[in-house]
Amino acid sequence: MRLRLIRSTWLAEGVVQLEFADPAGDELPGWEPGAHLTLHLPNGLAREYSLCGDPADRTRYAVAVQHDAASRGGSAYVHERLRVGEVVEVDGPKNNFALTEAPAYMLIAGGIGVTPVKAMAEALHARGADWRLFYCGRSRTSMAFADLLESLGDTIVHADDDCGGTPDLGKVLADLPGGALVYVCGPEPLLAAVEAELDDPARLRVERFRAPERPAAGEPADEPFDVVCGGGRRFTVQPGASVLDTLRRGGLDLPSSCEEGICGTCETRVLAGEPDHRDFLLTDAERAEGGSMMLCVSRSRTPELVLDL
Ligand code: FES
C-alpha cells in the first residue's frame, strides 16, 4: 500500500516518530503489538520498523526511527531526507514478535528496541496482565517513551550514563514468576546477554535489528540443490547463491527486505523436501514442521525442494 507521512515528531535525542495515513483517508489494516511495517524508501532501500502507536487507531500508523551512526542508508534517509507530505510504499503490518498467552511477562528493551515493547506494555497494562519491563539505554535523553513507560507501572529505566555502566541482567531476570515469557528487543550484545542468563531458552522471544555474526570456520561447505516451483520450473541453487537470488535471476518477482533472515518478508511455503533453516525467526517447532522457509538465507538438506510459488 502507499501511505502519506502526515507527521514527524522528535521523541528523544536522535529519535523521530513518523506517522503515516492513507492518502484517501481509508481505514488501515489492523495490527497487534510486536508488528512491524516495511518502508520502501525512495532511495531504494527497504527497512522494517516496529509499530509503536495505538492499535485501536485505524487512521494512522506510528513508527520511531533512531538515527544510527552506522546507518547503512535507512535511518539516515529517514532523518535527513524524508519529509511530511511524501508518499511511501509500505508493506505490512507483519508480526514476528507477537504476544502469546502466558501467566506473566518480562519485557526487555535496549535503546530503540523499545518500540515494539512500548506497544506490548500498553496492551498488557490495559488488560491487567502480570508484566514488568526493564528498559536500558545509553543516556536517558536518548531513550524514547521512558517517562510514559515508567508511568504505566512496573518499569525500570536504566540509563548507563546515570547508573554507572551496563545493567546486571542476572538481577533483572532473577525471580521471574513461573511460566513467565521473556520478550527482548535491542542490540545484539543485549540479546546475547539475556540468552546467556536465561535458564530456559523456550521462554525467550526475540526481535532482532540485524542478523548476528555467523561462525565463519567449521561450517560444512554448501552443496548445490534444486528448487522446483509451480508449473514444474526447476532452478539449481549453487553454493554461495541464495534461493532468492537464484529464483530472481530465473525471472521470478519475489519480495524481500532484510535479506538476513530476520524480517520474514521472503517466507515461502515448502511443499516437499527438507529446508536447512538459517534464519533467526522460526521457532524450533516451526523448523521441525518444515512448513516454510526464508528464501534469502535458508538452503536445503535434500537434493530438491518444492516451493509454493
Ligand atoms: S528478506 Fe527478511 S527474512 Fe528474507
> Would you call 91 exposed, middle or buried from its count of C-beta atoms within 10 A (0-12, 13-18, 19+)?
middle
Ligand 1 site, residue 266, Cβ cutoff 6 A: yes
Tell me what the mean pLDDT of segment 122-126 comes to.
Answer: 97
The percentage of the chain sitting over the pLDDT mark of 70, rounded to a whole number, equals: 97
Testing ligand 1's pocket by substitution, the residue of 37, 257, 277, 293 carrying the most ligand atoms inside 8 A of its CB is: 257
The confidence score (pLDDT) of residue 219 equals 61
The confidence score (pLDDT) of residue 214 equals 66
User: Does 225-307 match 105-208 at the fold level?
Assistant: no
Distance 163 CA to ligand 1 centre (A): 37
What is the fold of 2-94? Elongation Factor Tu (Ef-tu); domain 3 (2.40.30)
Testing ligand 1's pocket by substitution, the residue of 45, 254, 259 carrying the most ligand atoms inside 8 A of its CB is: 259
Check: CB of residue 36 under 8 Å from CB of residue 49.
Answer: yes
Strand pairing of 275-276 and 204-208?
unpaired
Amino acid at 99: L
Ligand 1 site, residue 12, Cβ cutoff 6 A: no
Distance 108 CA to ligand 1 centre (A): 24
> Which candidate, 109, 136, 138, 139, places its Cα nearest to that of 121?
109
Four-CA torsion 275, 277, 279, 283, nearest 10 degrees: 100
Testing ligand 1's pocket by substitution, the residue of 265, 299, 307 carrying the most ligand atoms inside 8 A of its CB is: 265
Q: How wide is the angle at C-alpha 235 spanned by C-alphas 297 and 256, nearest 5°?
A: 35
Check: CB of residue 305 under 8 Å from CB of residue 227.
Answer: yes
Ligand 1 site, residue 48, Cβ cutoff 6 A: no
Q: How far apart are the C-alpha atoms of 251 and 4, rounded to whole Å?
A: 31
Lowest mean pLDDT: which of 38-47, 108-117, 159-168, 296-305? 159-168
With cut-offs at 50, 70 and 90, classify the pLDDT of residue 46. Answer: confident
CATH match for 105-208 among 3.40.50.80, 3.40.50.150, 3.65.10.10, 3.30.365.10: 3.40.50.80
Ligand 1 site, residue 293, Cβ cutoff 6 A: no
Ligand 1 atom closest to 261 (CA): 3
3-state secondary structure the chain: CEEEEEEEEEEECCEEEEEEECCCCCCCCCCCCCEEEEEECCCCCEEEEEECCCCCCCCCEEEEEECCCCCCCHHHHHHHCCCCCCEEEEEEEEECCCCCCCCCEEEEEEHHHHHHHHHHHHHHHHCCCCEEEEEEECCHHHCCCHHHHHHHCCEEEEEHHHHCCCCCHHHHCCCCCCCCEEEEEECHHHHHHHHHHCCCHHHEEEEECCCCCCCCCCCCCCCCEEEECHHHCEEEECCCCCHHHHHHHCCCCCCCCCCCCCCCCCEEEEEECCEECCCCCCCHHHHHHCCEEECCCCEECCCEEEECC
**pLDDT tens readout for residues 137-192:** 999 999 999 999 999 988 999 998 877 788 889 999 988 998 999 999 999 999 99
Q: How far apart are the C-alpha atoms of 65 and 59, rounded to whole Å?
A: 20
Distance 138 CA to ligand 1 centre (A): 29
> What residue segments make up the domains of the chain, in order of their start?
2-94, 105-208, 225-307
User: Within 10 Å of residue 87's Cβ, how many Cβ atoms?
Assistant: 12
With cut-offs at 50, 70 and 90, classify the pLDDT of residue 283. Answer: confident
Distance 210 CA to ligand 1 centre (A): 11
Distance 11 CA to ligand 1 centre (A): 29
Ligand 1 atom closest to 295 (CA): 4
Distance 246 CA to ligand 1 centre (A): 15
The confidence score (pLDDT) of residue 165 equals 83
Ligand 1 atom closest to 257 (CA): 1
The confidence score (pLDDT) of residue 215 equals 61
**pLDDT tens readout for residues 201-246:** 889 999 988 777 766 555 667 899 999 998 889 999 999 999 999 9
> Which candidate, 208, 160, 215, places its Cα nearest to that of 187?
208
Amino acid at 202: A
As a whole number, the mean pLDDT across the chain is 92
Name the residue at shortest CA distance from atom 3 of ligand 1.
261
Residue 52, C-beta contacts closer than 8 angstroms, at least 6 positions apart: 17, 62, 63, 64, 114, 115, 116, 118, 119, 145
> Which candidate, 218, 196, 215, 217, places its Cα nearest to that of 206?
196
What is the fold of 225-307? Ubiquitin-like (UB roll) (3.10.20)
Ligand 1 site, residue 211, Cβ cutoff 6 A: no
